[in-house]
Amino acid sequence: MTVVFEVPGYARDELLLEATSQFVRVKSLETLAGRRRVALERFVQMSEAVETERVAATLQDGLLTVDLPKSAWVRGKARRVTIEAGPSVSSANEEQPDQHA
């Protein structure tokens, strides 16, 4: 998945990007009169889980592009499962001997 944030006028070192498996957030802190405040904050909730270790971001021409790879289980990565033999249908339907005799 890819998310693009418009952040005109900001340099890379003025932005903080945070990503979890559930959301991505970008914010900028500015200092005014000796006090720091959040000047910009954008938040996007993910519709599918992402691998936070592989998130990559680039800033070009005021656009912050964030690439968020889907988690393996979300992509449908399959695991082969061995099918074991169960009791046969004919032996399951056979009458059990009467033990009350």
Per-residue pLDDT tens digits for 66-81:
998 888 765 555 556 5
Report pLDDT for 9.
85
Long-range contacts, 12-18 (Cβ 8 Å, 24+): 12/59, 15/40, 15/59, 15/64, 17/57, 17/64, 17/66
Round to whole Å and give the CA distance between 33 and 81.
63
User: Quick one: pLDDT band at residue 45, thresholds 50, 70, 90?
Assistant: very high
Report pLDDT for 57.
93
Mean pLDDT in residue range 12-24:
88
CB 21 within 8 A of CB 50: yes
Whose CA is closest to 12, among 26, 32, 24?
Answer: 26
Domains of the chain by start residue, with CATH: 2-75 (2.60.40.790)
Most confident of 50-54, 79-83, 86-90, 96-100: 50-54
